[in-house]
Amino acid sequence: MTKQLKPCPFCASTNLFIDDVDYRFNKIVPEEQRGIYNAVVCYKCNARGSEKDSENKAIQV
């Protein structure tokens, strides 16, 4: 997996990873929105991008 991630908007670190969030069995989430979401997370300052329903959308934040 070689995705080009933008540097962190808070600390400019490029030490980022894409986190998976599993809402498939989350009863708080409406049924039509359940699924696996991706968010970009910064290792350095722990900043977290918004959760999207695909990696490609998550890295465009």
Per CB under 5 A, residues contacting Zn ion are: 8, 10-11, 13, 42, 44-45, 47
Closer to Zn ion at the Cβ: 6 or 24? 6
SS (H, E, C) the chain: CCCCCCCCCCCCCCCEEEEEEECCCCCCCCHHHCCEEEEEEECCCCCECCCECCHHHHCCC
Closer to Zn ion at the Cβ: 5 or 47? 47
Closer to Zn ion at the Cβ: 15 or 56? 15
Give the shortest CB-15-to-Zn ion separation in angstroms. Answer: 8
